[in-house]
Amino acid sequence: MKIFRRKKNCNCEDISSDNTSKNNAKVSNSGIKILGTGCSNCIKLEENTRIALRELNIDEEIEHIKDFAEIASYGVMSTPALVRDGKVLSYGKVLSSDDIKKLLEEL
């Protein structure tokens, strides 16, 4: 005797890849990103990153990501975080402009 029967019309196991691809499409792997909610630490990291870019003569836009889901998609659980070309360079601390320059020069 079967107590639980699977409905023939049930699509629970057919998880559409459309939603997954839409969420992944949001995450761009190019450029520099600051991940954080917009707190004073995130703002300071962004300022220091702008200084480092200017001193290195790098003309690159900085995108500030505040969406929790998108931040989590980078595997970051502690903000602020610095990302370049999809690679997390630092998280959980405010880097000085000199530290940021060193990281950018290593790439």
Domain edges within the chain: 27-99
- Residues 3, 86: Cα–Cα separation, whole Å: 49
The second-level CATH assignment, the architecture, of 27-99 is 3-Layer(aba) Sandwich (3.40)
Q: What is the pTM of this model?
A: 0.71
- Residues 62, 33: Cα–Cα separation, whole Å: 6
Within the chain, how many helices (H) and strands (E) appear? 4, 4
Q: Which of 35, 42, 53, 94 is catalytic?
A: 42
Q: Where are the alpha helices (DSSP H) in the chain?
A: 17-26, 40-55, 68-73, 97-106
Per-residue pLDDT tens over the stretch 2-19: 565 554 444 333 333 333
- Residues 31, 83: Cα–Cα separation, whole Å: 8
Tell me if residue 12 is catalytic.
Answer: no
Tell me if residue 10 is catalytic.
Answer: no
Q: Which of 23, 39, 69, 85 is catalytic?
A: 39
Per-residue pLDDT tens over the stretch 42-58: 999 999 999 999 999 99
